[in-house]
Structure 1
């Protein structure tokens, strides 16, 4: 996510050479904000290319068919020409793209499935008290340095997913109510699996709370260039990992089922989260709330936490704002607009689930180094301190949305995760 994240898509659209040498350059459908079309067209013309004609347009969203090799380049144009997170969503079929266009696109369209209450302070404070910057920093360091890139179609992207699965399974410490699995995507979607850790709810197991971030990284200049992705989005995955670590250390057992997800292939049109959200919708899973953490460790604005107001749930955003006031005294917050399809929360929103994304800065003031080889932890002075407040907000979100309790009788020692 961020102003550079979608830069990759525009570059793809401008390129006549397939992104992956020797691979079939199939056509895919995308949906994109209509306000981004003309600037993108102008940029493509400057490269001697034409953006394909719009096949359908409604409520500020357009669908068109492009080559798969063009996706990353479209993202690059979004960043370099629009300096914003306008975004796009890739779809496997025309029918899926049409469904996305026809979806209601106002923040009021997604109604909450539960009543939001803040009455579980004992559990929330227990979780918040366990958060430590050093663990977050360790995970960011591992994800951003163990591989040159976590790009979705490279072996290193798959290796990163397997590594994270091992870390989460180690943290789970053999708890019978916790499972960790790889979500293997169709070959037409991405070779990179997503990673999902599930804590089964004690009294309301059929109501599900989802927290996610994306595992892949990208460099907008080249598919072979270094893409450490420390902020985008190792910081989000590390934040989720710290919530998991604290929950396990405190013996937390939620009333509602909680799922932590590290999505594959976000950078190329929200592919991983799109498949997962669609599956949850088609199988009738009652997802009562979704929180996305995409870039948490760069302080670009004077505000501590910025809530994205468009393509998110207005009611859940208010709930998050109240959580900040209740559990994060002194932390300032405001709102910003991010544009269509700007991160994985949009996949859930488009399926009718309440989704929100607390972000690190106002749009345009976020980390300028993402999608480059310079997206390293050093851009945050080698510290994960900025992520701490996002971890605490996520922990409060879990405690107050999934409810449940911690237990002093279940306090496994901090697992040696090998980070």
Structure 2
């Protein structure tokens, strides 16, 4: 079981234990259409071609080594434009059990969705600026890489935790902590605003903080400094408005998404195994590259349809002309899938139709310059996230 620990207790670089860890065997699930390209890439590297241990419908489970995850991610991006395109598991049993459908979140007792908290939503949105979102993108992208095993990946997580703690200074109901993962160095980051009247009901807003590239650097400005920046502005606005949510709100920066949703999978499992009542999850992964005429692509697979309808209503109410269309990933394309697979309601508004998203991700060219050197598009997602939090967590603002 993972633990939330105080910031000061985490080292600023990977420990010797991580650095010297053996190249352990892991298991991944991926689409059967990707098995041949992955096998071909393994053969070119001189690696043993993995044999599926189990397949079901269009998904297969194969054994891999941890060092091979980044190469698999390259294949997924280059051949299928998928990010990451597979889910990583610590054991064969866990991987094979993932092929058994979990209870659909649509069968859970969902909360009643209403749009009636305009004062709070408008205060949050009114506080937001493009410059603040852009600043966070630039700060995150300044790290050489945020890869989950790198020292700079750990430093980026520490910086994010510190940034959030600074924004929340003076609020005793807000905590900013690190969620450690025993299998790799980079922690996830969680900021919690405790609910006033319904503290045991939890609203989650998250996005991954790691990055990946086949080149020497991985700025990851869009993938996913942009998503982190979009909801960091919600945190700042919540403090500025003295927002006091009725339900507990958790903002999460996930580690190790690019190598199979590993961080969010552990966090979602922690919440499920500890009986934490997560009533809704919003994922922001890539928010600053407008690849289509519509501002937002609402992903309809691996998400909850009822919550997606609520999300559309939020956009229509508070989006000030933000346009949206439906889109699909066709696979577990981001951390929302971890929550969906754990039985929670999750949604993800994407920066464009998925098939026409940012072509520069997973390269050294994923910079803010590819988005016109502004955060104008990402600011739209800050507003969407603000409306989502105001209407799902409820609660007033105050003097």
Question: What's the TM-score, normalizing by structure 2?
Answer: 0.91
Could you tell me which runs of 5 or more consecutive residues in structure 2 were left unpaired when the two chains were aligned: 1-17
Shift of 1:119: 1.2
Shift of 1:335: 1.4
Shift of 1:326: 1.2
**1:35 corresponds to 2:33:** yes
**1:129 corresponds to 2:126:** yes
3-state DSSP class of the match of 2:366? coil
Retained in 2: the 8 A contact 1:112–1:316? no
What CA distance in whole angstroms lies between the structure 2 residues aligned with 1:313 and 1:119?
A: 21
* Corresponding position of 1:66: 64
Retained in 1: the 8 A contact 2:105–2:344? no
**1:273 aligned to which of 260, 264, 286:** 264
Retained in 1: the 8 A contact 2:82–2:333? no
**1:298 aligned to which of 279, 289, 297:** 289
**1:180 aligned to which of 166, 176, 187:** 176
Residues 315-343 of structure 1 show CA distances to partners (whole Å, capped at 9, x for unaligned) of 11111111111111321111111132211
What CA distance in whole angstroms lies between the structure 2 residues aligned with 1:103 and 1:329?
A: 38
Retained in 1: the 8 A contact 2:77–2:362? no
Shift of 1:86: 6.7
CA shift in 2, pair 1:37/1:166, >3 Å = same
Retained in 2: the 8 A contact 1:71–1:268? yes
3-state DSSP class of the match of 1:252? coil
**Correspondence 1:163-312 to 2 at 5 A:** 163-186=159-182, 188=183, 190-221=184-215, 225-312=216-303
* Corresponding position of 1:5: none
What CA distance in whole angstroms lies between the structure 2 residues aligned with 1:242 and 1:110?
A: 33
What CA distance in whole angstroms lies between the structure 1 residues aligned with 2:270 and 2:198?
A: 20
User: For this pair of structures, how many residues does the alignment match?
Assistant: 382
**1:141 corresponds to 2:141:** no
* Corresponding position of 1:56: 54
**1:352 corresponds to 2:343:** yes
Retained in 2: the 8 A contact 1:84–1:363? no
Which shows bigger deviation, 113-122 or 231-240?
113-122
What CA distance in whole angstroms lies between the structure 2 residues aligned with 1:110 and 1:252?
A: 31
Shift of 1:36: 2.6
* Corresponding position of 1:150: 146
What CA distance in whole angstroms lies between the structure 2 residues aligned with 1:396 and 1:57?
A: 41
Retained in 2: the 8 A contact 1:110–1:353? no
What CA distance in whole angstroms lies between the structure 2 residues aligned with 1:42 and 1:309?
A: 31
Residues 265-286 of structure 1 show CA distances to partners (whole Å, capped at 9, x for unaligned) of 1111111111111110100000
What CA distance in whole angstroms lies between the structure 1 residues aligned with 2:348 and 2:49?
A: 30
Which shows bigger deviation, 79-88 or 331-340?
79-88
Residues 103-122 of structure 1 show CA distances to partners (whole Å, capped at 9, x for unaligned) of 249x7756462121111111
Which shows bigger deviation, 50-59 or 175-184?
50-59
* Corresponding position of 2:7: none
3-state DSSP class of the match of 1:101? coil
Which shows bigger deviation, 176-185 or 81-90?
81-90
Retained in 2: the 8 A contact 1:243–1:395? yes
Retained in 2: the 8 A contact 1:111–1:313? no
User: How large is the RMSD of aligned CA atoms in angstroms?
Assistant: 1.9
Shift of 1:178: 0.5
Which shows bigger deviation, 351-360 or 34-43?
34-43
**1:399 aligned to which of 378, 383, 390:** 390
What CA distance in whole angstroms lies between the structure 2 residues aligned with 1:264 and 1:86?
A: 13
Shift of 1:308: 0.9
3-state DSSP class of the match of 2:87? strand
What CA distance in whole angstroms lies between the structure 2 residues aligned with 1:54 and 1:313?
A: 30
3-state DSSP class of the match of 1:113? coil
Which shows bigger deviation, 352-361 or 324-333?
324-333
What CA distance in whole angstroms lies between the structure 2 residues aligned with 1:85 and 1:250?
A: 35
* Corresponding position of 1:98: 96
Could you tell me which runs of 5 or more consecutive residues in structure 1 were left unpaired when the two chains were aligned: 1-19, 410-419
What CA distance in whole angstroms lies between the structure 2 residues aligned with 1:273 and 1:21?
A: 22
What CA distance in whole angstroms lies between the structure 2 residues aligned with 1:230 and 1:139?
A: 10
Question: What's the TM-score, normalizing by structure 1?
Answer: 0.87
What CA distance in whole angstroms lies between the structure 1 residues aligned with 2:388 and 2:90?
A: 33
